Amino acid sequence: MSHVNDEVALQVRDTGIGINKERMGRLFRRFESFNEDPSKPSTGIGLSIVKEMAEKHRARIEVESEENRGSRFTVFFKKGISHFGTDVTIDDTFRAVTIDEMQREDLNEQTPLLLAEEINGHPTVLLVEDDDDLRQFIRSILEDEYEVHEASNGKEGFEKALDLIPDFIVSDIMMPEVDGIELLEKVRTNIHTSHILFLLLTAKTTLDSKLEGFGQGADEYITKPFSVSYFKARVKNLLQRRSELQRYYRDRTNSSPVVMSRARQTTDVPFNEKDLAFIRTVNEFIESRLGNSDFVIEDMAVEMGMSRTVFFKKMKGLTGLAPIEYVRDVLMQHASELLAKGGYAIKEVSYMVGMNDAKYFTKCFKKKFNMTPSEYKSFYSREKIVK
């Protein structure tokens, strides 16, 4: 890796057979394969994925090649983040961040790290279908609004689900090796994937097949054939239900009279017990470290037995909040309970939840409750008088 002016260059070289000029112009096209060795089949998607990922990072690729001498691929990344637009989400969960650092970064508007998975802002879908033509057809329906990944059977689908942690899965039922119902069961019983929305797609129309799917935790069920507009509408409805479910999981920490009186409490949300237990464990981890200004966000992923990437996606998918946002939410909830009890000054409460900057504490509190800590105390005092 080398640094040139405002760019960082990553270079890969080989000493192979090289690439001729005619093929150079088609290198990054999807499904273009130049492999002539039948014993080593190629899908022709590797370089197209490289190009897509480079473009997401606003990078550029240069290729130099000489036949019988080898090739050199260079990816140039721009430094900083000023070249990104408003469609890019910046998050700091990919490094250890203490509560104190979190405060300083917010107040000083320092630049956190970029999370690559969040760049395009589109929900991610994993499409699992063994029929190539139907899979490509469904892909064409979804790819304008969603980031689409594919698998040709349930076994491959589960492996990709673990790797990608998509927002939702669209899967056929009748497939070789691992069918859609088995895939659904695997997804629902694995803590890394249990929160993922699941849409079953099948030609079977019997009541038993539908009951089997819903019994395993399917979120939606569509029978073939289907209209494009109907399919799109069901997917959008699925994502809308996810928003309601995220609100449900976030509300598991909300016991404040103010929050409870304003929130729409839902009793019929189809929550997953495994995910609810996960949220409880995360909450217990945070609560056990209240008042600890050296609290490290990254430690939660280790505690939950997940990589940072998987933990981020799990929390984001389950609650709609990045881990660092969720911690703030829980801290503000505890602060509200302390203020409601009375007997504590606002600065004391700030320290008790691990925030050493009262100005930052007030900012976070007002963002959650739409009132300052002092206004909250006054409101709660009036509530006690009314009762």
DSSP string, 64-86: EEETTTEEEEEEEEESSSTT--T
User: Are 268 and 365 within one domain?
Assistant: yes
* CATH (domain of 182): 3.40.50.2300
User: Are 141 and 190 within one domain?
Assistant: yes
In a domain, 235, yes or no: no
User: Are 278 and 380 within one domain?
Assistant: yes
pLDDT(260) > 70: no
Percent of the chain beyond pLDDT 90? 17
User: Are 58 and 18 within one domain?
Assistant: yes
Could you report the per-residue pLDDT of 342-357, keeping only the tens digit for each?
778 888 998 888 888 8
User: Are 212 and 270 within one domain?
Assistant: no
**Could you tell me the end-to-end alpha-carbon distance of the chain, in angstroms, rounded to an integer?**
67
User: Are 149 and 267 within one domain?
Assistant: no
User: Are 201 and 269 within one domain?
Assistant: no
pLDDT(101) > 60: no
In a domain, 245, yes or no: no
Domain that holds residue 193: 122-226
In a domain, 56, yes or no: yes
Residue 122, phi then psi, degrees to nearest 5:
-85, 140
Could you report the per-residue pLDDT of 221-246, keeping only the tens digit for each?
888 888 889 999 989 888 888 888 88
> Which H helix or E strand runs over 259?
helix 257-262
What does the CA dihedral 93, 95, 97, 101 come to, rounded to 10 degrees?
-110
In a domain, 237, yes or no: no
pLDDT(302) > 50: yes
In a domain, 217, yes or no: yes
What does the CA dihedral 176, 179, 180, 182 come to, rounded to 10 degrees?
-150
Counted domains in the chain:
3
In a domain, 138, yes or no: yes
DSSP 150: E
